[in-house]
Structures are given as C-alpha cells and as structure tokens.
Chain A
C-alpha cells in the first residue's frame, strides 16, 4: 500500500525541513512509478539552475550509455528532481540515478524495498512507509536486518552531520516492528547449504570421495549442525547418567526382556470383547438363536424368524412364530428351551419376515411337534478360562515371574523404558545431524549414477566430464536435453528461446507473444523432458512468451530495443535481466566446445546476436 501522504506533500515537507536528498522506500514498482507520475504538471519543480545541472549530467552519462539518451523519464527527473529506482528499469538508468544521487542533484528517489541490498547510494533521509514486504506471493514483516539495511542508507559520511529516518504511515503498518527494527539486534544468519548436481560433479572431478566428506564437514552448515549436536550430546550424557541405576540385572537387557514379557502378559487386552449386559447364559445361547430355530417359550414352542437387538437398550430380541400362528416379538432371555432343530426358509426384510407360504408350513410343523423335542446343550463360557493357560505359557517362556528382581523390574520398567526411548531418539538425531549432509550428497550422486554421469565407483563418465561445465539452475534438464540430441541442428534463436524459458523463473504476468512453430515443438519436447525429471529436479516454468521474446531479439538483428520492449508488457528491466540470464546460460553451453562443437558454435552465434544495443553496454 502506498503511504497515506501524497508524494508531493512528502517531498515538499522534506524540502522545507532541509531533509533532502531522501530515499523513499515503497512496496511496489507501481507505487514508485505512480509517485513519480504525480509530480507531472505540478508546481513542485526545482530551480532552473538545478535542472540544468541534472540535464548536463544526464547528457554526459548518455555518451557512455546511449540507451538512456531518450529515456521517457528524463523530463520528470530534470524538472522535479525526483526519480524512481526499481528492478523494472534498465541497469544503465539505475546507475544514472545512483550517480545523480551521489552528486546530490536529486531531492528524492522512490525505490522498492525488495532491492534494498542492491541500492548502493546514500541520502540524508530515508523514508519508510511500511513494515511488511512482499516475498513470493506473501507479505512478510520486515526483519531487523532488512530495516537496518534500509535505515543504513540515511546519513552520508562526510556530507551530513546527521541522518534521518522518517516513518510515515500507510495502511497495515505496524510501528512496533519498525521501532524494534531500528533499535534491535539483527537476526543471526543460518547456513543454507544445498547440494546441487553440478556441485557433486565438480567435487568428484577434483577430489576423492573421502576428501569430499571432509570438505562437506568443513561447511558452515556442518559447523552449525555440530553446535546442535553438542546440545543433543549434553542431553544424551544426561540421559546416560539417569539410566545408570537401571543397568544389567538378572538378565543383561532387562528392559527389553520385561517389555516382551509385559506385552505377552497383556496379550488378552489386545482383543477387547464388545461390552454387553447379556448374562453369560444368554451370550452362550445367542449363536443358536438363528432364524428357523425351533425354541420353547413359556407359552409353548415357537420358530425364530429373525434375531435383532432393540434400538434403545440393546437387548437381544427375537421375532417368532407362535404355535397358534401369530408372529410376535419376544426378548431372547425369555427363551426356555433351545431345541435341536432348524427349519430352512428364505427370510424377507419386512413383516412377517418370511414368505406367507413358509408361514403356513411352519404353523403346520408346530402343530405336529412331539411333546419333548431334543434340546441343544448350552455351555456357559468360563470367563477365566484362558488365564491359567496363559500363566503357564508365561512361566514356560519367560523367567521373569520367578526372577528375584521381578518386583524391581516391575517398578522401574516404565521410567527406564521411557529413558531408554529418549536415549534412542537422541542418538538417532545426533546421527542424522552428523551424516545429513553426506547423505544428501549421496542421494544426488545416486541420481547422477542412475543417469550415467558417474560410475558406481564415483568416477566421472565421459558424459559427466562435460556435464560438470553446466553450473546453473536446472543443469540436469539441460545436460539431459543435450544428451538426447534435442538441440541438434537447432537455429541460434531457437536455442536462445529455449534457454530463456529455462532461465526465467519469475511468474510476473506478461503478454503472450507469437511462437514460431519450430520453437513451440522444441519447447514441447523440453516440457516433456522436464516433466520426466520432476522427481530429481523441480521443473522450470518454461514460459513460451519469454522464449518468443528471446527468439525475436536474436532472430531479428535489425530489431531495436525500443520496439522489442514495446511488443511485451514486461518491464524494460525484466526484459534486460531475462536476456542477461539467457546470455549466461548460453555461455555455459559455449564452454562445451570440446565435446559438442556444433552446439557450442550455435550458442556462440546466439550470444553474438544477442549482444547489441543495451546488452552491449555493460560487461
């Protein structure tokens, strides 16, 4: 969000209190540009002599850097003494602004906070209007280091007695963050050691595996890990001390022994029966009370049509056919006899639970029953039945129950096992911290082995020999593409287009440009390869619009920078950075002249075509 105060008022107040030159940090590029635009056609201009000095300087500067000679912002800078400075501008323009600032010719520069580190020019005053900054899609609070980096630009040594930080609010600002940032201790820095494929290849080229382990151990990452190891080691020593009283007893490893014993003892607990309120007799009966079973109730014999549990109390219930031919419900516990006879029938889902014909048959069968049909003997299950059995097994297999330290073990087990567990965890953590880097190295090496860049004995294969020269992001994708001859006979502009789309990792929107059919087919292939490598390397964005942009610049040598920039909605500075990065990628391919002369020549041609106008200005 832009500050609540209008940029003209802001600069006016700064001028009135002699607080200029000032750097005004804003969140977005657009904010900077809009602030500058606000000055046009206002009365906030600088004296004529001042304008003249700026004009002379810019003319002089344009002799070295012709790209800024006709910059559209020159009139604003000259008339109002203010400028914008952000990544959307060309490097040469930014250098001009920085130089103007150093000479004290500008009153205010509106800059983005994101590039605070790249802003290498001081001022008397720094204006901060927000406490958070956009970092990849998200707003984060400024860190203390960042705030001090911003504030540090205030006060020029040798040109100022004092410097100033002016805080002016914008929506969502949190003053406390700024207060803490200005006066606090900057954050500690932590190692960000990432092992990349080119790193593995290059290290293996020059060093043996043992030496590499030593090199990794020398990293700041390992240094910081070792400090954590020391902390864990202390904990481990502490745990050892606590475990002291729980040393060997009758058996050497009594904790483990007791653990197994305890588990065996509790074996029954693993299958917990469903809790019901049924009496043991009923529980024993229930398996027999199936549909079709002949039973005896107090009233007389009956046939079970279905068994269910009542919804409310969960009592087992029966639907039965009584001797007089009525269908009724009764509780299962009312069953007096369970007879040893089952009638076969097809149960149905609704009353009367069986087909009417069956009902009729059953009625007849009940009428013809003998007085005392044979009954099923019901045995109640003995609850404690398996306990003596288990006890026998336990005494047979374990010596614990008869061991003299039984009571001691039983008492100490829970504490000792907890300590033991912690000890194991800490030991594991220490091991992981010690070997983490080396494991990550091995993982990368395994992938490289799988693709055939190194042998099983950690030696570079001929492919590995040249692949190590590609030392950029997405190196695996590029070397794989080269190996599968995706670039054979490719035109320089297409190669550049592909490299541009691999190199570009910014997802700022830009306009779609027309791709040539050739480039789009190559890009399609690159996409496939990148997808197939997804498990080993995060795929690049592979945007086709930036590919087309690079292709145009290299394929049409008469195309001017101005018309290239006009054909896209990308900011000038972004186009410049895209091409500069592409140039870097191409130059890496150019280093393969020994093994891939054709490709290296194509890259060289593309580089030659690329270096013109703006791109030839700076080394």
Chain B
C-alpha cells in the first residue's frame, strides 16, 4: 500500500480510530489534530507504516456508513463513555483473531436442534466412572462445569460405601441445599437410610448416610478429637464435600480447610466443585497432608452444549458469538450483528 492510498484511507477515518491507530506509535498523539496526526503517521518508518496499514485493515468499524462519512457523530451524548466495544474489544481483538475464520453463524442454524431427547438408559460418562473407581484407592477432587452430573458421582460413591457397611457424610454449604439433598437421597435410598444434622436438630443420626452443613461436620470433628462423640466416626468411610469451591469464601472458607485437615485418615474424601482455576493445586495440597494420594478429575467440556444468543430490547434475537457452541479457552468473537445492535443500544439506551 503506497502513501497515497494510506493517506486517503486515514482521511476517511473518524478521529477516534486515528487515535486508536496512533496509540503506541506516535507520542502525545492525543494532542494532535487530524491533519498533523496523518502527517506524522505517513512520516513513520516504512516497517512501522506496514504494521499501521495492517492494523488499519483489522480495525473493526461499526458499519460501512460511518466510515464513509466521518461527519457521523461518534457518540451523541458527550457525557457518556465510549462503547466498551470499540475501546477494548477491538484492541484485544488482535490476539483473539487467529487466521481466516469461517463466516459468522446465522440464527436459524444456531436455534437448530432444540428439543427433548427421547428417554434412554443413563450411561455414565467416562470421567464419572473414573471418579467412582478412583475412590477405591485415593481421595478424589471432581472439578467439572456446573450441571455435568456431579451428583451421579456422589450417589455411586455412597452406594459403594454403604455396600461396604461404611458411614457416609455428605456436606453442603447451605442449609437449603442440605434440605434438598435430604429429600432427594431419602427418595433414593429410603428414609431410614438417611439422617440429617443441623445446628439444633439431629434426625436419624444412626443412619449410614448423614447430611449436614460443613460447619456441623467441623464441630463433629472437633468433638471427636477431644473424645466426646455420639457419632460412629470409626466406621466413617467417605466424606463428600459438595460445592468445595467455598474453600475460598472469605468468611466461611476456613471451615472447609479445618474439616479437610481434621478428617480421620481412614476416611476417603470426595470433593465436588464447580470449575475452578487451580484444582491441581488443591489436589497437591491434599496429597501432601493425607496418607493416600489425591486424584483430580477435571474437564471443561459440558455434557449439554451451550450456545449464546443476544436479545436486543426491540425484540431482535441474534447469535451472540461468531461460533455456534460456546467453548472454553478458545477466545471469543462477538457476532457482527450483536456488535451492531449493542452499539446502537449503547448510544441510545433508552429508546
């Protein structure tokens, strides 16, 4: 691209984008006017000019019209900050863009396949089987996306432990979740097999499966350590800690740590957690403080694919991303239609 071409293209750009291009290339570009800015850009060394031209080509513009007529107001409300879209997304875009991409998906294609699968026998996933099997010789941390079937692992593990005549304790962070699980497990294992402990109530505490909040388990372990206990801790074979990511809760996280530290050594631990960033670290820690190793089961793929949609306040429904299914760790690019509509919304939010 020769200087004339570049000059013509730059002339057509609104100031906002010129500054965006000049950032990091021309010092104190924000003090310069349009003519001077373009002069400075054209005066850059050749290789810098090449880079400039390529970022000019990558620049994502709201629509063709606004490029052609620089008179288009950038933002009609002066007090409003510019759309986050162009200030951040475009700047970041360069490393989300890898090579030529497929054309953005269309709505009908995205909405394809909605429906209810015909009922079929439940086939456990590979990782679910793996987790249950690993419990035979190790503690297990399961870190998988929400809704991929952690409860199944818990149930299978409970079945296994109950078959071996062991006591199982299942803890959850919230009383409400305890109650839900109590009802669920009572239906599954029979009411006489399930007990629940709360701060003030102990129902059926000689049942093989006990449900409680983590605080209660910590208290039980305190009492067990000082030798005053009415629970059968020596037969305690399995402790399941649901929602273990609460370990990082500023107020209550310490309870999870205490529980894990004080847990009897013959007991297996099963930690069920939503996706967290450092499950490996957690596993290393558990391995370092307990006699048996700790096995980490993690995956990020959802069992039901998830797709993104953008719903404009006017009622238009468009795809959110360019790709169909939302995938982890692959970066993202918003669908051009979403960008356009959202920009419109940002400028006139209360239409």
Interface residues of A (CB under 8 A from B): 3-5, 9-10, 13, 17-19, 91, 94-95, 98, 117-118, 120, 122, 124, 127, 145, 148-149, 151-169, 171, 174-176, 179-180, 182-196, 199, 202, 205-207, 215, 218-221, 223-224, 227, 468, 471, 580, 583-584, 586-588, 590, 607, 618-619
Contact = CB atoms under 8 A, between A and B. Distances in A.
Contacts of B307: 162-165
A193 B308 CA distance: 38
14 contacts: A95-B180, A152-B302, A155-B305, A169-B345, A175-B84, A175-B85, A184-B329, A185-B277, A192-B247, A202-B226, A220-B260, A220-B282, A223-B288, A607-B200
Contact of A175 (B113, B177, B183, B334): B334
Nearest to B219: A471
A206 B226 contact: yes
Interface string B249-289: 11101100110111000000000001111100110110011
Given A152-B274, A207-B225, A166 B146 contact: no
A120 B326 contact: no
Contacts of A174: 84
Given A145-B276, A151-B146, A152-B145, 16 more contacts: A4-B350, A5-B312, A91-B179, A117-B174, A117-B243, A154-B306, A155-B305, A159-B116, A161-B115, A161-B117, A165-B320, A167-B311, A168-B313, A206-B222, A206-B227, A215-B261
A200 to B, nearest CB: 12
Nearest to A190: B248
A5 B84 contact: no
B180 A98 contact: yes
Contact of A192 (B148, B249, B310, B328): B249
List the 6 closest A-B pairs by CB distance, nearest first. Answer: A152-B146, A584-B199, A155-B304, A587-B200, A189-B248, A192-B253
Contacts of A183: 321, 326-332
B11 interface: no
A427 to B, nearest CB: 25
A168 B311 contact: yes
A219 B262 CA distance: 10
A6 to B, nearest CB: 8
A176 B284 CA distance: 33
B309 A164 contact: yes
Nearest to B289: A218
A9 B315 CA distance: 7
A157 B225 contact: no
B309 A619 contact: no
Interface residues of B, number: 94
B285 A220 contact: yes
Interface string B316-351: 010011000011111110100010001001000110
B24 interface: no
A207 to B, nearest CB: 7
Contact of A117 (B92, B147, B173, B277): B173
Contact of A155 (B288, B306, B334): B306
B95 interface: no
A183 to B, nearest CB: 4
B125 to A, nearest CB: 10
Contacts of A221: 257
B308 to A, nearest CB: 5
A167 B320 contact: yes
Contact of B113 (A117, A161, A205): A161
A182 B308 contact: yes
Contacts of A19: 114, 309
A127 B328 CA distance: 19
B20 interface: no
B277 A187 contact: yes
Given A175-B334, A183-B327, A586-B200, A168 B174 contact: no
A182 B332 contact: yes
A192 B274 contact: no
A260 B303 CA distance: 70
Nearest to A580: B175
B306 A145 contact: no
B254 A193 contact: yes
Contacts of B215: 471
Contacts of A4: 313, 345, 349-350
A122 B147 contact: yes
B199 A588 contact: yes
Interface string B96-122: 000000000000000101111101001
A451 B218 CA distance: 25
A206 B225 CA distance: 6
- Most-contacted residue by chain B among A159, A167, A179, A194 (CB, 10 A): A179
B332 A220 contact: no
B313 A619 contact: no
B149 interface: yes
A127 B309 CA distance: 9
Contact of B328 (A149, A184, A202): A184
A141 to B, nearest CB: 12
B305 A619 contact: no
B209 interface: no
B201 interface: yes
B127 to A, nearest CB: 14
A551 B203 CA distance: 27
B180 A160 contact: no
Given A122-B147, A159-B116, A167 B253 contact: no
Contacts of A124: 114
Contacts of A91: 175-176, 179
A497 B67 CA distance: 68
B170 interface: no
Contacts of A218: 261, 289
Contacts of A145: 245, 274-277
A118 B275 contact: no
B248 A167 contact: no
Interface string B169-196: 0000111110110110000000000001
Nearest to A6: B313
Nearest to A123: B147
B308 A95 contact: no
Contacts of A167: 308-311, 320
Contacts of A224: 281
Contact of B306 (A18, A151, A159, A186): A151
A152 B179 CA distance: 22
